Amino acid sequence: MAEISAEDGVLVALEERLVKFRLPRALDIKEKVDRGEPLNQWDTAFLEKVLADVQDVLPLIEQKPDLQGIYVRVVHLYKEITEKALENEEKP
């Protein structure tokens, strides 16, 4: 039986958290800002956690090309959300 390294275990846990919890909530927030609504304090706190997660595991992700796609998607989604939220805030 193949042994799983500590790094692999961390990656599996983070990927699961990202796919099951972070990504669905981020997509909900994206829909919200696409409707023209502003971010609230909970949305902002959540997005900060997502960005921190991505930054924390970036050194590990760089070594795992099969996981890079989902992390690139999350970073791009974060960028889209924040740009749209800023646009919404600037509207009269």
Provide the greatest CA pair distance for the chain: 62
Does 72 fall in a domain? yes
Does 71 fall in a domain? yes
Q: Which residue stretches of 1-92 are H helix?
A: 6-17, 23-34, 41-61, 65-90
Total-model pTM: 0.80
Does 21 fall in a domain? yes
Does 2 fall in a domain? no
Does 70 fall in a domain? yes
Does 34 fall in a domain? yes
How much is the average pLDDT of 12-18?
A: 79
Total domains present in the chain: 1
Digit-coded pLDDT (tens) for 51-72: 888 787 777 777 778 778 887 8
Digit-coded pLDDT (tens) for 32-50: 999 999 999 999 999 998 8
**CB under 8 A, 24+ apart: contacts of 1-7:** 7/60, 7/63
Q: How many other β-carbons are positioned within 10 Å of the β-carbon of residue 70?
A: 14
Range of the domain at 45: 7-90
